[in-house]
Amino acid sequence: MKRSDFGDDFTWGVASAAFQIEGAPSADGKAPSIWDELTRTGKIAGEGGDQGIDFYNRYPEDIEMIKDLGFGANRISLSWPRLMGTGRERLNPKGADFYDRVIDATLEAGMEPWVTVHHWDIPLALWQEGGWTRRGIVEDFARFAEVCAERFGDRVKKWMVFNEPASVAGHLVLGLYGRKGLHPNTTLRSVHHINLACAEAGRRMRAALPEDAEIGTTNVMSVAYPYEPTDERTARRKRAIEALAIDMHLDPAGGLGYPFGANRLLNLMKRHIEDGDLESARFEYDFMGVQCYGPLVALRKLPVVGAVPTMTVPGAEARVSSAIGIPQDADALLWTFRKYANHPVAKRMVVTEGGFGGQDRLEPDGRVRDDIRIWVYRRNLEAVLAAKAEGINVDGYFAWSYADNVEWVLGRSPRFGIVYTDYDNDYRRIPKDSAKWFQRLLTTDAGVD
Ligand code: GAL
């Protein structure tokens, strides 16, 4: 496999998110986010919620290494409470300075900053007002997005509005943010508000950004196994699961409304839809960020809204499952490309995250042998090539993640990085075998086997 197989215009990047890497939860005027509160109340396994991987201080070294590995793009996210305190405050100049420095260092390294406006770390104060269940959040979020576009739009040309609404829905269903989330009604109401918020944010950003800026967003995107059902019952179940886990987050922006016909549970959504909402929820993105960590499964009934099931898919590949329990099967990615190739929500797709969470070990010889991760990336990239050969427009791949970081409630384990974070030794960064594999792929003519 060679870099040239993907074409000159293909974007190669690494991805991360503010809470997972920055640390410095109260530095320079930052207010707490819901994730700082989960850290404070002990909901994050082990330790680390407060420290991240100290990207707040070590970003120059990290950006240098990302460049050395051969990547051309660095995806980060902006922390709302770092930039706007409790959520509706004026821009915090020190918080904005931090992102200025990161963006400038990325550009100076010859890489392109790709910026996610929101990757789950909503200000705690807004959460306490009702979070995504409160309709007023639509305006609050749109204003935040607009402020970000105004401040960084002179240098950032690639934007993603919101990372994985489906995961936020999943967190609500699991009661992670408190018992209030436990009713499907609350989740669906929040999902509707997130759809409205993203579209409104997209419009404000488009008005504030120069013409050459591109506005995308990212979603959990996958298909349910079996990929080609042979009986009508399984096909119906597959549609019902995909509607609830994926399509309700994509279809409204594409002007398709909600997939009510596919899943009766979605009827609960109707009471939250006001006149004109389906029109307001439309927004044509320049690209859709695909984040597929494995297939959904249509073989059994799904008990909850929005949560991604993690049962084993039959077949050899599926026997490898990530440390968060997701079966690995790159065919899910290929079928996802096929399903969404002509979806009206965006003209092209970029894999804005892909990767593997494992229990990597730093060995005495200083190496981290993460063969499974290399295998996962190779299979993912083969799926990208297969899609391109079918004429499907996929033009970028971002590895999740550059370095091991805080995997939300799971804390420091599993490790998702291609670079090992040595938490016991001053957070040293040590490229794993997979980082060297990417480096060979991206910087040598011979590529990788
Ligand atoms: C995604 C999420 C990332 C990261 C990744 C690995 O759903 O956007 O922040 O945690 O999963 O599990």
How many angstroms is it from 43 CA to the middle of ligand 1?
Answer: 17
How many angstroms is it from 417 CA to the middle of ligand 1?
Answer: 11
- CB of 404 shorter than 6 A to ligand 1: no
Q: What DSSP designation does 128 have? A: H
Average pLDDT, the chain: 92
Domain assignment present for 449 = no
- CB of 116 shorter than 6 A to ligand 1: no
Domain assignment present for 386 = yes
Domain assignment present for 286 = yes
pLDDT of residue 46: 86
Domain assignment present for 235 = yes
pLDDT tens by residue, 207-260: 999 999 999 999 999 998 888 999 999 899 899 999 999 999 999 999 999 999
Domain that holds residue 53: 3-443
Q: Specify the higher pLDDT residue, 57 or 300.
A: 57
pLDDT tens by residue, 374-396: 988 999 999 999 999 999 999 99
Mutate to test the pocket of ligand 1, among 119, 161, 400 (most ligand atoms within 8 A of CB): 400
Mutate to test the pocket of ligand 1, among 19, 353, 398 (most ligand atoms within 8 A of CB): 353
pLDDT of residue 177: 87
What pTM did the predictor assign?
Answer: 0.95
Report yes or no: 167 and 224 within 8 Å, Cβ to Cβ.
Answer: no
- CB of 167 shorter than 6 A to ligand 1: yes
- How far apart are alpha carbons 37 and 41 in whole angstroms? 6
- CB of 317 shorter than 6 A to ligand 1: no
pLDDT tens by residue, 162-193: 999 999 998 988 888 887 666 888 999 999 99
What is the three-class DSSP state of 252? coil
Residue with the nearest Cα to atom 4 of ligand 1? 407
Domain assignment present for 448 = no
Residues with a catalytic annotation lie at 164, 353
Report yes or no: 60 and 91 within 8 Å, Cβ to Cβ.
Answer: no
Domain assignment present for 276 = yes
Token reading at 238? 């597959």
What's the CATH number where 56 sits? 3.20.20.80
Residue corresponding to tokens 């409470």 = 81
Which is the closest atom of ligand 1 to the Cα of 408?
10
- Res. 327 pLDDT band, cuts 50 70 90: low
pLDDT of residue 326: 64
pLDDT > 70: percent of the chain: 92
DSSP 44-68: SSSS-TTTTT-HHHHHHHHHHHHHH
pLDDT of residue 322: 63
pLDDT of residue 307: 36
pLDDT of residue 396: 98
Mean of pLDDT values over 127-136: 96
- How far apart are alpha carbons 352 and 334 in whole angstroms? 15
pLDDT tens by residue, 429-447: 999 999 999 999 999 999 9
How many angstroms is it from 170 CA to the middle of ligand 1?
Answer: 12
Mean of pLDDT values over 40-57: 93
Helix 184-208 × helix 137-152 angle, to 10°: 30
Residue with the nearest Cα to atom 10 of ligand 1? 407
Mean of pLDDT values over 270-290: 98
- CB of 162 shorter than 6 A to ligand 1: no
Residue with the nearest Cα to atom 12 of ligand 1? 407
How many angstroms is it from 21 CA to the middle of ligand 1?
Answer: 12
Long-range own/partner contacts, residues 127-135 (CB < 8 A, 24 or more apart): 127/34, 127/37, 127/177, 131/34, 131/177, 131/190, 132/168, 132/172, 132/189, 132/190, 132/191, 132/193, 132/194, 132/197, 133/180, 133/186, 133/189, 133/190, 133/193, 134/193, 135/193
Q: What is the tally of structural domains in the chain?
A: 1
How many angstroms is it from 10 CA to the middle of ligand 1?
Answer: 22
